[in-house]
Amino acid sequence: MLLNRWSFLFFLLCALYGCSPGVARPTKKQRIVLATDCLTKEDERLFKSFRKYHHIDVQIVELSADSIHSLLKKDGVDTEIDAVLLRYSGGSEDIQAKHLLQRKVSSTVPVAQSLDYFTIGQDPYVILKSVRDSLNKHIDLSDFIRSAYWTTDLNLSHDFNPLLSAVRARMKDKKGYRFYDWERDFLKHHATSFPLMDSTGKIPYHFTLYSHTSTQKERLEKKYNCVEPIYINQQNGGSYYQPVRFGIIRHARNFTNAKVLLNYLYNIPFNRRLNNRLGTYPIVTRNKSPYPYQNAGPKMFPWMDRAMRRFPI
């Protein structure tokens, strides 16, 4: 009877403290699986210092936002993905809309963010003016409502949504009466080609993202013969932009590690280095950056996250 009692206590202790035979101890090597549409496997070296100081490996999985969305829906709670780093797209919005991200993540992030995505970079909308345009006048968003024709390499169905949300937010037009007139006039001047000059003598312009001026520079110069990008809305609230965002998956196996990485993304040197890799602007702007283009950056519209939440397009 006494032997049975001690045997029971032994097995109870084994169950409580995980010392039963055949159970592997937790590995000391920590990791986070990061699915992204803007980094490659080779970019794992960007996180060398993070691995050194936090002893957490960052494993990058290269997938489009649409593929990530499909994989998360398919795997459910069994997903291997811990976090996502995505440019703005219809796929990244679907991930948010389907509530696949962890909400209300507590962190030391120094800026106001949405409930699930965290903006870590800014890709402003810019205008490229043809060198054929000899008129040395200031061009801004209002010109595309009144008269200026424009082309774009962006997808009209969703790539302009952050810009449109910001415009509607500035109008404070919840019902959309004034905004829909503005949107109609804006799209009315979209041209499908880039001629020297149209029959009315109006010279067209090219609408794109800042990141495209570096990643697609040769193509743009060859096809459109354009000059340096013009940042819009600088005399008012600041440039509208597409966000580069980080989110933690709702069923992340390495949730604690993902929170550590989230805070590291706002480390000033790393945030600058990461955005230099992406061809975008850092979210932190204090002090001088070692990357010259970041020191001459535009004034950014400060309420983009709020505008995209309150006035989704």
Give the domain 27-121+242-298 fold: D-Maltodextrin-Binding Protein; domain 2 (3.40.190)
Q: Ramachandran region of residue 269, left (φ > 0), alpha (ψ -120 to 50) or beta?
A: alpha
- The pair of three-digit structure tokens given for residue 132, joined into one six-digit string: 């054929």
Domain extent listing, the chain? 27-121+242-298, 124-231
Tell whether the model's pLDDT for residue 265 goes beyond 80. yes
- Full-model pTM: 0.83
Nearest to 285 by CA among 89, 79, 111: 111
Under the banding of pLDDT at 50, 70 and 90, the label for residue 129 is: confident
pLDDT at 262: 93
Let me know if 267 is exposed, middle or buried by CB neighbors in 10 A (0-12, 13-18, 19+).
Answer: middle
Can you tell me which residue has the tokens 């919005």?
93
Q: How far apart are CA 229 and CA 252, in angstroms?
A: 40
Q: Where are the alpha helices (DSSP H) in the chain?
A: 2-17, 48-54, 65-75, 90-97, 143-146, 161-171, 177-188, 212-215, 217-224, 255-264, 268-278, 292-295, 304-310
- The pair of three-digit structure tokens given for residue 219, joined into one six-digit string: 């193509």
For 124-231, CATH number? 3.40.190.10
Under the banding of pLDDT at 50, 70 and 90, the label for residue 145 is: confident
pLDDT at 121: 95
Tell whether the model's pLDDT for residue 17 goes beyond 50. no
Please indicate whether the domains covering 27-121+242-298 and 124-231 agree at the CATH topology level: yes
pLDDT at 199: 47
Under the banding of pLDDT at 50, 70 and 90, the label for residue 195 is: low
pLDDT at 254: 94
pLDDT at 229: 84
